[in-house]
Structure 1
Amino acid sequence: MSASRAGWATDGLASAKKQPLLIGWREWVELPDLTAIPIKAKIDTGARTSAIHAWKIQRFSDAGMPWVRFELHPVQKDNRTRIACTMPVHDEREIRSSNGEVTVRLVVKTRLRMDGRIWPIELTLARRDQMGFRMLIGRTALKRRVLIDPSDSYLTGREPGPV
């Protein structure tokens, strides 16, 4: 789908970087600060904050500042692939899940790469064992950067090879 189909001007005057990225309701993304393994993510405008499936979440202090250790399990239906991560804690927030339950989650700042574009996002750490996707990308991470076609998937690229 072209930018013009989405209703955005393509008159040559607008820079390609200023054009919103057209994405589907699910996309392959990367978190270059955490892992080189692509992650299948659900695009969820109903969620304010993005979330990643994390295990063994441990808070600790380094030079008086809050940090967190955790494991990413980036491959869907595969708990053997584990990525050990250590990051500063950016925030701590109450998050209301889709079933209405409120939990306190740690928030880290990292970079998201989608279709060659990279931008900073806030990411909550949560166990997503029962969810269909290891990562959920919320509206704050998408704001002013993307247009979503909810009827399509993987508009930025198909599933990568074996991971």
Structure 2
Amino acid sequence: MTSLRAPALRRRMACWLYEGVLMFGMVMLPGLLFAVVTQSRHGLDNRHGLQLFLFAVLAAYFVYFWSRSGQTLAMKTWHIRVVDRDGQPLKPLRALLRYLLAWLWFLPPLALMAPFTLSGGEVSVLMTGWVLVWALLSRFQREQQFWHDVLAGTRLIDVQPDPAKRR
């Protein structure tokens, strides 16, 4: 039986960072296809269309994996699975809700900086600061879950690999 205990914050953040690295590679092909189809010649051409398209591509990726196996590649690597409050696999609608609420990792600082012209360093400090605050806020949640998981009715759990499959 798998425990419903949350993985350590350090491990969840390592998984989060690895997921970001994988996402960079994952949006390259759809981004290229979008540029070819829309005949975009400059990085800012059709940028809102590209953002919306990549938002949908990422939604499809996360909803598919979270509702199928409960794990993305990064989550498999770090032995973390997402389940509902009762420990059951996610239904696609709940996985979509979790995806939308996971944007709380980025939307508050993006909204805060929108009216200002900030340097790259200032943006980095603001984004990094918010990510650290959002991650540390899980310490104030009774089960140590991220707040977007609490709001979505999901939870990250620690899953240890099956020793028989290692051989």
TM-score (norm 2): 0.27
